[in-house]
Amino acid sequence: MSDLLLEDKQRVYRELDAVKSDFAARGWFPGTSGNLSMRVGGFEPDRFAFAVTASGKDKAASTPEDFLLVDQTGKPIEATGLKPSAETLIHCEIYRQTGCGAIFHIHSVYNSIVSDLFWERRAVPVEGVELIKAFNIWDEEAVIDVPIVSNFADIPRIVPEVKERLDRRIPGILLRKHGIYAWGRDAFEARKHLEAFEFLFEYVYRMALLKR
Ligand SMILES: CSC[C@@H](O)[C@@H](O)C(=O)COP(=O)(O)O
Ligand SMILES: [Zn+2]
């Protein structure tokens, strides 16, 4: 491993560890769910690598075995006994499609409910709520649709749907009755987007109840 990659790996692991502790404190990783990743530098544009959470870990704990480096196909690029997140292939596809720098996945009650409530239209509509601006969409009374894809147990089957449904304007995609993937150019932006999505999903859920 080059010195440059090693330095970047250490920086990225530190950043991911801080995000992980913060999200765990918010209750965003129930039952070991969720996964995080961040791109590491030093690769050509057509090849890339990223750090991803190891599968099945207690994400509230901080240990030396929380992350590993994988390539653009999701395979480890260093000798390790750790298994990358079971959902690594979804991260690979999102990096390929968007060129983003960080991807965060969490399960919450609100994102799970709205992903099922609006399953028939395959997207959650959000209308005119101020926090849409967190996605760099500045139109007054903007209306957005957050795409929802199937939650197949076989992760490779989800990947083509992510490819087809991903909307470059919207930095997130829902898996039905499962959770959200949110991304950004770096950890700061991915976290900002995720917080905005979770706010908007709670808003949509509560508004749907009020309107019943
Ligand atoms: C423990 S239930 C959640 C998992 O099935 C999965 O959806 C998830 O988010 C975490 O998987 P992981 O392999 O630890 O990254
Ligand atoms: Zn998940």
How confident is the model over 180-204, as pLDDT tens digits?
999 999 999 999 999 999 999 999 9
pLDDT at 6: 83
Q: What is the pLDDT of residues 89-116, one digit of tens each?
A: 999 999 999 999 999 999 999 999 999 9
Alpha carbon of 57 to ligand 1 centroid (Å): 9
Q: Which residues contact 93 (CB under 8 A, 6 or more apart)?
A: 159, 162, 163, 166
Q: Would you say the CB of residue 161 lies under 6 angstroms from ligand 1?
A: no
pLDDT at 9: 93
Q: What is the pLDDT of residues 30-89, one digit of tens each?
A: 999 999 999 998 776 678 999 999 999 999 999 999 999 999 999 999 999 999 999 999
pLDDT band at 3 (very low <50, low <70, confident <90, very high): confident
**Residues placed in the known binding site for Zn(2+):** 105, 107
Q: Would you say the CB of residue 86 lies under 6 angstroms from ligand 1?
A: yes
Nearest CA to ligand 1 atom 2: 33
Nearest CA to ligand 1 atom 7: 33
Instruction: Annotate 60-87 with DSSP letters as a single string.
Output: TS--TTSEEEEETTS-BSS--SPPB-TT
Q: Would you say the CB of residue 32 lies under 6 angstroms from ligand 1?
A: yes
Alpha carbon of 212 to ligand 2 centroid (Å): 30
pLDDT band at 130 (very low <50, low <70, confident <90, very high): very high
Q: Which amino acid is it at 83?
A: K
pLDDT at 45: 64
CA distance 115 to 44: 36
The whole-chain average pLDDT of the chain stands at: 96
Does the pLDDT value for residue 178 go beyond 80?
A: yes
127 contacts 207 by C-beta, under 8 angstroms: no
pLDDT at 41: 86
Q: What is the torsional sign of CA 169, 162, 204, 59?
A: negative
Q: Would you say the CB of residue 88 lies under 6 angstroms from ligand 1?
A: no
Main-chain phi, psi angles of 156, to 5 degrees: -55, -25
Q: Would you say the CB of residue 33 lies under 6 angstroms from ligand 1?
A: yes
Cα distances (angstroms) measured from residue 70 to each of 38, 40, 96, 113: 10, 10, 14, 32
Does the pLDDT value for residue 4 go beyond 80?
A: no
pLDDT band at 1 (very low <50, low <70, confident <90, very high): confident
Instruction: Write the ipTM.
Output: 0.97
Alpha carbon of 106 to ligand 1 centroid (Å): 9
Alpha carbon of 32 to ligand 2 centroid (Å): 9
CATH architecture of 3-210: 3-Layer(aba) Sandwich (3.40)
